[in-house]
Amino acid sequence: MQNYENIFSELAEKIKNLIADSKTMENIIEIKNKYLSKKGEFSLLMGKIKEAEDKKAFGEAFNNAKNKIEEVLNEKVKEFEAKKLEAQLKKEEIDITLPGNNIKRGSENPFYKVRKEIEDIFISMGYTVATGPEVDYDKYVFELLNIPKDHPARDMQDTLYIEDDLLLRSHTSSIQAHVMEEANGKPIKIICPGKTYRRDDDDMTHSHQFAQVEGLVIDKNINLGNLKATLELFAQKMFSKDSKVRFRSSFFPFTEPSVEVDISCFNCHGKGCNVCKGTGWIEILGAGMVHPNVLRMSGYDPEVYSGFAFGIGIERVAMLRYGVDDIRRFYQSDIRFIEEFNKKVED
Ligand code: PHE
């Protein structure tokens, strides 16, 4: 049998050396193309089979040599792949000794804290929270609340009209009107927090947009004493355990009698200070017994049912509670203000 190995060995050695010396995957591809592809230098040696006597032995010798080159080549490819993986792992390695990124914790606007606190206090007294539309019909904002068209009381709450009959609500009392309509003559015990809008000057204590929490209780035998006890409990939970409540007579078209409600000053406990402007009392809300006309219009017999209602300004409570001097601070999203406040609460 003829020995054909010599025919291939020289070129095979050269190729193996080239593979061994290659530095990159690109080198390997070049070698493959140049020597091992169909028309590559090594593959072309197969052509010499024509001259060979023992074609089978020639073929075997060629295949052996080619297989050995491929083995070396595959080893090298593996080596490169391992190196590549290693480099990638190194790159992605996390250095746990580096300082971390400081993620800034957000702070809740004090307005929302107070709104939630007010809600919680009334929920604990058995109230449910109701909401209603900010853009509402005249009927709900005024008429069902005993403020007919052209009534001078409308001037107290001049607001922003979308259409003749459609406006931004000037108070949350409009939600009362919706809830009474839906309740169909059944007892009610709700609070309604929400935004309200009025044509107003924007200064330290006024804003054209502010928020109220409305309260409404309708049932048999509800009286002014119930209202006072409710508001006193609210003041004690919100401001100070020994808070007292004082009623001064007032006017709202939808309540009769109507009262302006003061709480005893939680800062000086009645002695007089700058928070209560020296009077010992702080005005915080409007309230009263639901007017018989309002009850009647919403399908309640005023001879059988009675009720009380109140409207609390949320910003007003928040300003008192946290000593905020300017109502506009709640709306300006000034991080310094909000953060400062957060510190106060956490301390
Ligand atoms: N709606 C009144 C206002 O916005 C407040 C109020 C509510 C008064 C309920 C009495 C009863 O001024």
Q: Determine if ligand 1 sits within 6 Å of the CB of residue 314.
A: no
In a domain, 198, yes or no: yes
For residue 343, what pLDDT is reported? 60
**Of 7, 116, 18, 20, which is closest to residue 54 (Cα–Cα)?**
7
- Domain harbouring 314, CATH code: 3.30.930.10
CA angle 149, 179, 239 (to 5 degrees): 100
In a domain, 347, yes or no: no
Q: Which structural domain range is residue 79 located in?
A: 5-91
Which of 252, 256, 261 to probe ligand 1 with, by most ligand atoms within 8 A of CB? 252
In a domain, 96, yes or no: no
Residue 77 and residue 28 in contact, taking contact as beta carbons nearer than 8 Å = yes
Residue 28 and residue 79 in contact, taking contact as beta carbons nearer than 8 Å = no
For residue 243, what pLDDT is reported? 95
For residue 98, what pLDDT is reported? 87
The count of domains in the chain is 2
Residue 264 shares a structural domain with residue 332? yes
Mean local confidence (pLDDT), 137-157: 91
Residue 125 shares a structural domain with residue 207? yes
Q: Which residue has the higher pLDDT, 288 or 156?
A: 288
Looking from the CA of residue 311, the nearest atom of ligand 1 is 7
Q: Is residue 37 classed exposed, middle or buried when 0-12, 13-18 and 19+ CB atoms within 10 A define those classes? A: exposed
* Alpha-carbon span 280 to 156, nearest angstrom: 27
Question: Which range is least confidently modeled, 79-88, 122-131, 200-209?
Answer: 200-209
Q: Which two tokens stand for residue 150?
A: 């052209």
* Alpha-carbon span 12 to 127, nearest angstrom: 93
What is the three-state SS of 250-289?
A: EEECCEEEEEEEEEECCCCCCCCCCCCCCCCEEEEEEEEE
Q: Determine if ligand 1 sits within 6 Å of the CB of residue 288.
A: yes
Mean local confidence (pLDDT), 196-210: 88
In a domain, 35, yes or no: yes
Residue 74 shares a structural domain with residue 181? no
Question: Which range is least confidently modeled, 183-187, 256-260, 343-347?
Answer: 343-347
Atom 9 in ligand 1: residue holding the nearest Cα: 310
Residue 79 shares a structural domain with residue 215? no
In the reported structure, the alpha carbon of residue 81 is separated from the centroid of ligand 1 by a whole-number distance in angstroms of: 77
Residue 40 shares a structural domain with residue 80? yes
Residue 210 and residue 327 in contact, taking contact as beta carbons nearer than 8 Å = yes
Percent of the chain at pLDDT above 70? 98
Q: Determine if ligand 1 sits within 6 Å of the CB of residue 171.
A: yes
**Distance linking the first and last C-alpha atoms of the chain:** 98
Q: Determine if ligand 1 sits within 6 Å of the CB of residue 252.
A: yes
Grouping H, G, I as helix, E, B as strand and the rest as coil, residue 129 is strand
Query: Which one of 46, 63, 91 terminates a domain?
Result: 91
Q: Determine if ligand 1 sits within 6 Å of the CB of residue 291.
A: no
pLDDT in tens, 229-266: 999 999 999 999 999 999 999 999 999 999 999 999 99
Residue 28 shares a structural domain with residue 125? no
Residue 114 and residue 317 in contact, taking contact as beta carbons nearer than 8 Å = yes
In the reported structure, the alpha carbon of residue 303 is separated from the centroid of ligand 1 by a whole-number distance in angstroms of: 23
* Alpha-carbon span 7 to 14, nearest angstrom: 13
In the reported structure, the alpha carbon of residue 153 is separated from the centroid of ligand 1 by a whole-number distance in angstroms of: 12
In a domain, 97, yes or no: no
Query: Which one of 59, 91, 123 terminates a domain?
Result: 91
Mean local confidence (pLDDT), 79-101: 90
| DSSP element (H, E) containing 249 | strand 245-252
Mean local confidence (pLDDT), 46-60: 90
Mean local confidence (pLDDT), 19-29: 94
Query: Which one of 64, 91, 118 terminates a domain?
Result: 91
In a domain, 213, yes or no: yes
In the reported structure, the alpha carbon of residue 287 is separated from the centroid of ligand 1 by a whole-number distance in angstroms of: 6
For residue 1, what pLDDT is reported? 56
Residue 176 shares a structural domain with residue 281? yes
Query: Which residues does residue 252 pair with via DSSP β-bridges, in sequence order?
Result: 255
- 234 backbone dihedrals φ, ψ, rounded to 5°: -60, -50
CA R_g for the chain: 43
